[in-house]
Amino acid sequence: MTIAFIGAGNMGEAILAGLYRKYSCVVCDARADRRAYLKKKYRCSFAQTPALAAAAADVVLLAVKPQDLPVALADIKGVVKRQLFISIAAGITASFIEKALGVKVRVVRTMPNLPAMIGEGVTGVAGGRHATAQDLKQACDILGAVGPVITVPEKMINAVTAVSGSGPAYVFLFVECMMNAARKLGFSEKEAKALVYQTLLGSAHMLAKSEDSAEALRQKVTSKGGTTQAATDVFMDKDIFGMFLAAMKAARTRAAELAK
Protein backbone atom coordinates (compact mmCIF):
# COMPACT_ATOMS: atom_id res chain seq x y z
CA MET A 1 0.00 0.00 0.00
CA THR A 2 1.21 3.49 -0.87
CA ILE A 3 0.44 6.45 1.38
CA ALA A 4 0.83 10.00 0.09
CA PHE A 5 1.59 12.68 2.68
CA ILE A 6 0.35 16.08 1.59
CA GLY A 7 2.32 18.18 4.03
CA ALA A 8 4.85 16.89 6.53
CA GLY A 9 5.01 19.27 9.46
CA ASN A 10 5.29 18.08 13.05
CA MET A 11 2.14 15.96 12.98
CA GLY A 12 2.63 14.69 9.44
CA GLU A 13 6.18 13.68 10.32
CA ALA A 14 4.99 11.94 13.49
CA ILE A 15 2.67 9.75 11.44
CA LEU A 16 5.33 9.22 8.77
CA ALA A 17 7.76 8.05 11.46
CA GLY A 18 5.28 5.41 12.54
CA LEU A 19 4.53 4.19 9.02
CA TYR A 20 7.51 4.48 6.69
CA ARG A 21 8.98 1.09 7.63
CA LYS A 22 5.67 -0.68 6.95
CA TYR A 23 4.28 1.14 3.90
CA SER A 24 5.54 2.81 0.76
CA CYS A 25 5.35 6.53 1.54
CA VAL A 26 5.54 9.50 -0.82
CA VAL A 27 5.79 13.00 0.61
CA CYS A 28 4.87 16.38 -0.82
CA ASP A 29 5.99 19.40 1.19
CA ALA A 30 6.43 22.89 -0.21
CA ARG A 31 9.49 23.74 1.93
CA ALA A 32 12.86 22.78 0.49
CA ASP A 33 14.54 22.70 3.90
CA ARG A 34 11.84 20.41 5.22
CA ARG A 35 12.25 18.02 2.28
CA ALA A 36 16.01 17.93 2.81
CA TYR A 37 15.52 17.10 6.49
CA LEU A 38 12.99 14.33 5.77
CA LYS A 39 15.19 12.77 3.05
CA LYS A 40 17.99 12.31 5.56
CA LYS A 41 15.76 10.79 8.22
CA TYR A 42 13.20 8.57 6.46
CA ARG A 43 13.10 6.02 3.68
CA CYS A 44 10.45 7.55 1.44
CA SER A 45 10.05 9.20 -1.96
CA PHE A 46 9.08 12.77 -2.75
CA ALA A 47 6.72 14.48 -5.20
CA GLN A 48 6.79 18.05 -6.40
CA THR A 49 3.02 18.62 -6.24
CA PRO A 50 0.06 17.26 -4.26
CA ALA A 51 -1.38 15.81 -7.47
CA LEU A 52 1.80 13.87 -8.28
CA ALA A 53 1.90 12.49 -4.74
CA ALA A 54 -1.77 11.50 -4.71
CA ALA A 55 -1.99 10.06 -8.22
CA ALA A 56 -0.32 6.72 -7.45
CA ALA A 57 -1.40 6.45 -3.80
CA ASP A 58 -3.94 4.17 -2.18
CA VAL A 59 -4.30 6.49 0.82
CA VAL A 60 -3.83 10.26 0.83
CA LEU A 61 -3.04 11.84 4.21
CA LEU A 62 -4.00 15.52 4.16
CA ALA A 63 -1.60 17.08 6.66
CA VAL A 64 -1.24 20.68 5.48
CA LYS A 65 -2.45 23.62 7.56
CA PRO A 66 -6.21 24.21 7.32
CA GLN A 67 -5.74 27.48 5.43
CA ASP A 68 -3.56 25.72 2.83
CA LEU A 69 -5.91 22.78 2.27
CA PRO A 70 -8.16 24.33 -0.44
CA VAL A 71 -5.16 24.90 -2.74
CA ALA A 72 -3.92 21.35 -2.19
CA LEU A 73 -7.36 19.89 -2.86
CA ALA A 74 -7.73 21.91 -6.07
CA ASP A 75 -4.44 20.41 -7.30
CA ILE A 76 -5.47 16.86 -6.34
CA LYS A 77 -8.99 17.06 -7.81
CA GLY A 78 -7.93 15.92 -11.29
CA VAL A 79 -6.25 12.70 -10.11
CA VAL A 80 -8.93 11.35 -7.76
CA LYS A 81 -9.71 7.68 -8.41
CA ARG A 82 -10.34 5.27 -5.56
CA GLN A 83 -8.02 6.75 -2.94
CA LEU A 84 -9.01 6.95 0.69
CA PHE A 85 -8.49 10.48 2.02
CA ILE A 86 -7.52 10.88 5.67
CA SER A 87 -7.48 14.45 6.96
CA ILE A 88 -5.79 15.75 10.10
CA ALA A 89 -6.67 19.40 9.32
CA ALA A 90 -8.28 21.00 12.38
CA GLY A 91 -11.81 22.27 11.83
CA ILE A 92 -12.11 21.13 8.20
CA THR A 93 -15.20 18.97 7.72
CA ALA A 94 -15.38 15.82 5.64
CA SER A 95 -18.11 17.45 3.52
CA PHE A 96 -15.77 20.36 2.71
CA ILE A 97 -13.21 17.92 1.32
CA GLU A 98 -15.89 15.94 -0.54
CA LYS A 99 -17.22 19.10 -2.19
CA ALA A 100 -13.75 20.40 -3.02
CA LEU A 101 -12.79 17.17 -4.81
CA GLY A 102 -16.10 17.07 -6.65
CA VAL A 103 -16.68 13.32 -6.56
CA LYS A 104 -17.95 10.75 -4.08
CA VAL A 105 -14.61 10.49 -2.33
CA ARG A 106 -14.13 8.43 0.80
CA VAL A 107 -12.98 10.75 3.56
CA VAL A 108 -12.02 10.01 7.15
CA ARG A 109 -11.54 13.02 9.38
CA THR A 110 -9.12 12.65 12.27
CA MET A 111 -7.58 14.60 15.11
CA PRO A 112 -4.26 13.29 16.49
CA ASN A 113 -2.17 15.14 19.05
CA LEU A 114 1.46 16.12 19.54
CA PRO A 115 2.60 13.10 21.62
CA ALA A 116 2.13 11.14 18.39
CA MET A 117 5.68 12.34 17.72
CA ILE A 118 6.92 9.84 20.31
CA GLY A 119 4.33 7.16 19.59
CA GLU A 120 2.22 8.20 22.61
CA GLY A 121 -0.57 10.12 20.91
CA VAL A 122 -4.31 9.60 20.89
CA THR A 123 -6.46 10.17 17.81
CA GLY A 124 -10.16 10.72 17.27
CA VAL A 125 -11.48 9.30 13.98
CA ALA A 126 -14.77 9.97 12.17
CA GLY A 127 -16.02 8.80 8.80
CA GLY A 128 -17.36 11.09 6.10
CA ARG A 129 -20.51 10.51 4.06
CA HIS A 130 -19.02 7.92 1.73
CA ALA A 131 -16.52 6.25 4.08
CA THR A 132 -17.16 2.57 4.75
CA ALA A 133 -16.56 0.52 7.87
CA GLN A 134 -13.45 -0.86 6.15
CA ASP A 135 -12.23 2.70 5.51
CA LEU A 136 -12.59 3.52 9.20
CA LYS A 137 -10.73 0.37 10.14
CA GLN A 138 -7.92 1.21 7.72
CA ALA A 139 -7.67 4.75 9.10
CA CYS A 140 -7.58 3.37 12.65
CA ASP A 141 -4.82 0.94 11.67
CA ILE A 142 -2.78 3.76 10.10
CA LEU A 143 -3.19 6.25 12.96
CA GLY A 144 -2.75 3.42 15.46
CA ALA A 145 0.94 3.47 14.56
CA VAL A 146 1.31 6.58 16.75
CA GLY A 147 -0.98 5.72 19.67
CA PRO A 148 -4.51 4.63 20.64
CA VAL A 149 -7.45 5.55 18.39
CA ILE A 150 -11.09 6.18 19.26
CA THR A 151 -13.96 6.36 16.75
CA VAL A 152 -16.52 9.13 17.24
CA PRO A 153 -19.32 10.78 15.22
CA GLU A 154 -17.95 13.63 13.13
CA LYS A 155 -19.94 16.16 15.16
CA MET A 156 -17.62 15.28 18.08
CA ILE A 157 -14.31 15.85 16.27
CA ASN A 158 -14.16 19.53 17.24
CA ALA A 159 -14.62 18.46 20.86
CA VAL A 160 -11.80 15.92 20.41
CA THR A 161 -9.69 18.83 19.18
CA ALA A 162 -10.55 20.78 22.33
CA VAL A 163 -9.83 17.92 24.73
CA SER A 164 -6.90 15.91 23.33
CA GLY A 165 -5.80 17.79 20.21
CA SER A 166 -5.03 20.94 22.18
CA GLY A 167 -4.71 19.05 25.46
CA PRO A 168 -0.92 18.68 25.51
CA ALA A 169 -0.63 22.48 25.58
CA TYR A 170 -2.77 22.58 28.73
CA VAL A 171 -0.44 20.09 30.40
CA PHE A 172 2.65 22.00 29.26
CA LEU A 173 1.13 25.26 30.53
CA PHE A 174 0.45 23.67 33.92
CA VAL A 175 4.05 22.45 34.10
CA GLU A 176 5.27 25.87 32.99
CA CYS A 177 3.32 27.39 35.89
CA MET A 178 4.72 24.86 38.36
CA MET A 179 8.27 25.49 37.13
CA ASN A 180 7.84 29.24 37.47
CA ALA A 181 6.45 28.90 40.99
CA ALA A 182 9.22 26.46 42.01
CA ARG A 183 11.89 28.93 40.90
CA LYS A 184 10.21 31.71 42.84
CA LEU A 185 10.19 29.45 45.91
CA GLY A 186 13.98 29.33 45.67
CA PHE A 187 14.84 26.26 43.56
CA SER A 188 17.34 26.34 40.73
CA GLU A 189 16.20 25.49 37.19
CA LYS A 190 17.75 22.02 37.49
CA GLU A 191 16.17 21.36 40.87
CA ALA A 192 12.77 22.64 39.77
CA LYS A 193 12.88 20.46 36.66
CA ALA A 194 13.77 17.35 38.67
CA LEU A 195 10.91 17.94 41.10
CA VAL A 196 8.22 19.05 38.66
CA TYR A 197 8.90 16.70 35.73
CA GLN A 198 9.12 13.59 37.89
CA THR A 199 5.97 14.61 39.75
CA LEU A 200 4.20 14.85 36.40
CA LEU A 201 5.57 11.53 35.13
CA GLY A 202 4.84 9.67 38.35
CA SER A 203 1.33 11.07 38.57
CA ALA A 204 0.60 10.20 34.93
CA HIS A 205 1.78 6.63 35.49
CA MET A 206 -0.41 6.37 38.58
CA LEU A 207 -3.42 7.49 36.56
CA ALA A 208 -2.66 4.87 33.90
CA LYS A 209 -2.09 2.01 36.36
CA SER A 210 -4.61 2.76 39.09
CA GLU A 211 -8.25 1.72 39.10
CA ASP A 212 -9.05 4.94 40.94
CA SER A 213 -10.30 8.05 39.16
CA ALA A 214 -8.28 11.25 39.04
CA GLU A 215 -10.62 12.69 41.67
CA ALA A 216 -10.10 9.72 43.99
CA LEU A 217 -6.32 9.90 43.62
CA ARG A 218 -6.38 13.64 44.33
CA GLN A 219 -8.38 13.01 47.50
CA LYS A 220 -5.82 10.41 48.62
CA VAL A 221 -3.10 13.07 48.47
CA THR A 222 -5.26 15.68 50.20
CA SER A 223 -5.38 15.47 53.98
CA LYS A 224 -8.05 17.61 55.62
CA GLY A 225 -6.50 20.86 56.75
CA GLY A 226 -3.11 19.91 55.33
CA THR A 227 -0.69 21.48 52.88
CA THR A 228 -2.28 19.99 49.76
CA GLN A 229 -5.71 21.26 50.73
CA ALA A 230 -4.25 24.72 51.29
CA ALA A 231 -2.97 24.63 47.70
CA THR A 232 -6.05 23.10 46.06
CA ASP A 233 -8.31 25.54 47.90
CA VAL A 234 -6.59 28.31 45.94
CA PHE A 235 -7.37 26.53 42.66
CA MET A 236 -10.97 25.96 43.70
CA ASP A 237 -11.39 29.60 44.78
CA LYS A 238 -10.30 30.59 41.26
CA ASP A 239 -12.86 28.14 39.78
CA ILE A 240 -10.33 25.92 38.02
CA PHE A 241 -13.11 23.61 36.79
CA GLY A 242 -14.93 26.53 35.20
CA MET A 243 -11.70 27.81 33.65
CA PHE A 244 -10.97 24.46 32.00
CA LEU A 245 -14.52 24.16 30.67
CA ALA A 246 -14.41 27.70 29.27
CA ALA A 247 -11.00 27.05 27.69
CA MET A 248 -12.11 23.82 26.00
CA LYS A 249 -15.33 25.42 24.76
CA ALA A 250 -13.23 28.20 23.24
CA ALA A 251 -11.02 25.65 21.50
CA ARG A 252 -14.08 23.78 20.17
CA THR A 253 -15.60 27.02 18.89
CA ARG A 254 -12.37 27.99 17.15
CA ALA A 255 -12.17 24.58 15.49
CA ALA A 256 -15.67 25.12 14.09
CA GLU A 257 -14.72 28.61 12.89
CA LEU A 258 -11.77 27.21 10.92
CA ALA A 259 -14.21 25.35 8.67
CA LYS A 260 -15.92 28.56 7.55
Cα 158 to Cα 83: distance, rounded to the nearest angstrom: 25
pLDDT at site 235: 96
Residues in the chain with pLDDT < 70?
259-260
List, by residue range, all CATH 3.40.50.720 domains of the chain: 2-152
- Provide the whole-model pTM: 0.89
pLDDT at site 136: 96
pLDDT at site 248: 97
> For the CA atoms of the chain, what is the radius of gyration?
21
pLDDT at site 54: 96
Q: Who contacts 78 (Cβ-Cβ below 8 Å, separation ≥6)?
A: 51
pLDDT at site 95: 93
Beta bridge partners of 150: 124
Q: What are phi and psi of 54, to 5 degrees?
A: -80, -25
**What's the distance, Cα to Cα, between the start and end of the chain in Å?**
34
pLDDT at site 24: 94
Domain 2-152: state its class.
alpha beta
List, by residue range, all CATH 1.10.3730.10 domains of the chain: 167-258
Domain 167-258: state its class.
mainly alpha
pLDDT at site 23: 93
Measured at the alpha carbon of residue 216, what is the angle toward residues 213 and 218, in degrees to the nearest 5? 110
pLDDT at site 139: 96
